[in-house]
Structure formats: structure tokens, C-alpha cells
Amino acid sequence: MQSQSNPGPLLKANGMDRPLVSVVLPVFNGERYLRQSIESCLSQSYDCLELIVVDDGSTDSTPLIIEEYTKTDKRARVLSHACNRGLPHALNSGFAAAAGQYFTWTSADNYYRRHAIARMLEVLENDSKVDFIYSDYSSTDSQNRFLEYWSVGEAQELLAANRIGPCFLYRQEVQKALGRYNEEMPLAEDYDFWLRASTLFRMVPLHEDLYCYRTHEDSLTARLRERVAVIADRCLERNLPSLTWAARPDKAAAYLILARRAQLRGERPHAWRLAFKAFRLAPLGAFRFLARRVLRLPGPPPAAQAR
């Protein structure tokens, strides 16, 4: 993974030059929670930011709500799509207009804790070797009641699932290097971006609760859970060959996990193809994985594992 640094654009505030943070907020018919999401951005303790709200063809009161904030806070502006183009396209529209040194995006039904941007920015500003920071978060219900605390994983855990979480901040150089969010991967566009980022940049977890992820029946994740899982698997399969940081046995294990999921979905020919890729990549590692996970045979004793 490489680290890159660029001074980027700076804004003057309180007599100091401070980096600008660009926050993109895509929304489609999000009137129910949009105000709280916008306010959580504009009330950050780190206030040198721009908020780019991308209205992706909303037909409810979303445009009127956005206008309330763009009229009263010069840091907020709106980009409007005439019709709904989907989340990846909305993200690409927003970031094409972003001017910050640091980038992030959030959802219209979630919200930041007050010091979220400040804490993540502090890590990036103090360590030039870190390119991408992501934090722990809490899930809440529709009434903002706490449900569960979620601890994000190491970047290497992307081999198993999307462990980055919804709260993150990364350098402008990451966006420049990776280009657009993949519009062929709707519902897994973030996972695809993280996987591609992991091959070029250093991604570091921050184990502080900085964000609230709302769980409700109208969310995309809730309505399309099974489809999200399928597309995420396709996303991992597509990116696995390019993950240069992953050891061959670990890639083989990932292929076997994908094969098992495909089998459970009734995709037997595809499952066999994935299993073949695993054994071709690392025959011994794939067999050991099968023995432990599928055949339920005991693994080697701890001393042998240490070697």
C-alpha cells in the first residue's frame, strides 16, 4: 500500500489555514430523516467543510428541506438530478464537484456525532502514512434509540466482508487514484471502492464511536438484504485477483467462502468454478481450509500453528 500527500486546497478560518473537508450527501426521497443528517454535518466541531447534497430525483419534500439549509449556510449546496440515477451515480456527481483536501460521504438516514470529522481529520493530519481512516459506530432505531455498538475490522478483513463501516475520511489522492464509484456495483459500490483502495493506500481503523447508523424498515439494506449479499460476493470475486497484499492461501480461503455461499443460493456450477480457483491458487491451503471449516476436522496444535 502506498501513501501519498498533497497540500490540497486550504480555507482560512480564525486566522489559520485549515484543510477543507468535502462531505457528499446523496439523497432520494429522504424527507423523514434528512434534517438530522444535514444538521449533523453542519454542526460538526470542525467547521471548515463543504456539504454537497445530491438530490437524486426526489419527488417528496426533500428539495424544500435542502433549500432551507442552502439558504442559511454558505457551506451547503445542492446538485439536482432530474431523475433517479442510483447511489453510485449520485456519489460520482458529488465528488466531481468536491474541492476538499479530504473526502467523505454519508447517508440521508444516518448522522455523525459532533466530533466525528475532527477526530478522523486529526489522525490523517498527524500521520502522513495514513491515507484512509474509518471508525466504530452505533446502530440506532427510527427514534434514535441505541441498539448496538459496532467495532470495525482491519482492512485485511475485507477478504471476508465489508468491515469498513459507514464512517470514514480519506485523502483527495485516494479519489483521484481510484476514480469513480463503480456504477455497475449498486448496493456494493462502497465495498468495491474499499477493496480497490486497499491495494494502493494504507487504511486504518479508529476504535471510537463517531457515527449513528439508523436501522429501519425503509432502508435499502433492510429492503434488499439478500440482493446486497449477492452483489457484495460478486464484488469480492471481481476484486480478489488484484488484492496484492493478500497471501495466496488467504485468497484461496476467500474463494472457498464465496463458493459455499454460491452453493447455498443454488448456484452449483458457479460454486464449483470458485472452488476450482481456490485449489488452483493454493491447493494445500484450500484443503486445510476445507478440513477445518467444511469437514470440521481439528486444526494443528498451537505449536504447529505458530510455526
**Same-domain check for residues 214 and 261:** no
**Is the pLDDT higher at 287 or at 10?**
287
Instruction: Tell me, yes or no, whether 234 lies in a domain.
Output: no
Question: Is the model's pLDDT at 27 over the cut of 50?
Answer: yes
Domain that holds residue 74: 10-226
Same domain, 193 and 255: no
Residues 211 and 255 in one domain: no
Local confidence band at 220 (pLDDT 50, 70, 90 cut-offs):
low
Report the alpha-carbon distance of residue 182 to residue 174 in Å, rounded: 15
Among the listed residues 258, 267, 248, the one whose alpha carbon sits nearest the alpha carbon of residue 293: 258
Indicate if 253 and 175 belong to the same structural domain: no
The pLDDT assigned to 224 comes to 75
The whole-model pTM stands at: 0.87
Query: Is 60 exceeded by the pLDDT of residue 219?
Result: no
- Given this model, what pLDDT does residue 287 score? 67
| 296 has a pLDDT exceeding 60 | no
Rg for the chain (alpha carbons), in Å? 21
d(CA 70, CA 19): 21
How far apart (Å, rounded) are the C-alpha atoms in residues 203 and 1? Answer: 9
**All cell numbers assigned to 288:** 486445510
- Same-domain pairing of 145 and 279: no
Beta pairing, strands 49-56 & 203-214: unpaired
What is the per-residue pLDDT across 80-90, written as a single tens digit (0 to 9) for each? 999 999 999 99
Q: What is the mean pLDDT of residues 188-212?
A: 98
pLDDT in tens, 86-129: 999 999 999 999 999 999 999 999 999 999 999 999 999 999 99
- Based on the domain organization, do 166 and 264 belong to the same domain? no
| 156: CB partners within 8 A, 6+ apart | 245, 246, 250
Q: Are the C-beta atoms of 39 and 208 separated by less than 8 Å?
A: no
Same domain, 86 and 221: yes
